[in-house]
Amino acid sequence: MFDYIEGKLVEKTPTYAVIDCGGVGYLLHVSLTTYSQIGQQELCKLYVHQAIREDAHQLFGFANRAERETFRLLINVSGVGASTARMILSSLSATEIAEAVFNNQVATLKAVKGIGEKTAQRIIIDLKGKIDKENVSPDLFAGTHNTIRQEALTALSLLGFPKNVAEKALQKVLSSGSDSLTVEALIKQTLKVI
């Protein structure tokens, strides 16, 4: 099983990327989100999901672990295969998918080509508990606050606050536009909100 492939980006299209790693060219199917995040990098690192079927061995590449975890959750939903999951991730970011699941936004998922109402409802129902269990939440996807947020969440948990209460309070502080906070400052502001 591959975790990631890092090497020279040889070819890039909106549907796949070829990475030369040690003289072997790996073709990885990518979403439009990953395609845009790769940019024009000469050296490239993509997190990998390997799909093995009777008729094909395929590699799917993702710019970050959160997108890969979302892909893995999606392909475990009945009726959603690898191509459909990639289509969903091409239309919506991992954050938007998590928000759609948390907020029961069937219309957001239905807006993706090939996703009907029943499939959208099934995705929401199937992923509702799993997204929490896998710690794949909108907060974790939200960009630059990941490490600081995680450290603050750990500290608040060690102080005895329930994880869900601490997460809500942290999200409130981070969404209020407090961009350049240190871990200590983030914890202090969050304690005022709790």
CATH of the domain at 100: 1.10.150.20
pTM listed for this prediction: 0.67
Q: Does residue 71 sit in the same domain as residue 119?
A: yes
pLDDT tens profile 88-140: 999 988 888 988 888 888 999 998 888 999 999 999 999 987 775 444 444 44
Sequence-distant (≥ 6) Cβ neighbours of residue 74 within 8 angstroms: 80, 84, 85, 88, 89, 97, 123, 127
What is the Cβ-side half-sphere exposure of residue 74, based on CA atoms within 13 angstroms?
Answer: 29
Whose CA is closest to 74, among 51, 55, 56?
51
Choosing from 38, 62, 86, the residue where a domain stops is 62
Per-residue model confidence (pLDDT) at position 27: 96
CATH of the domain at 168: 1.10.8
Q: Hey, is 192 helix, strand or coil?
A: helix
Phi, psi of 6 (to 5 degrees): -125, 130
Q: Does residue 90 sit in the same domain as residue 72?
A: yes
More confident residue, 50 or 41: 50
Per-residue model confidence (pLDDT) at position 180: 66
Per-residue model confidence (pLDDT) at position 135: 43
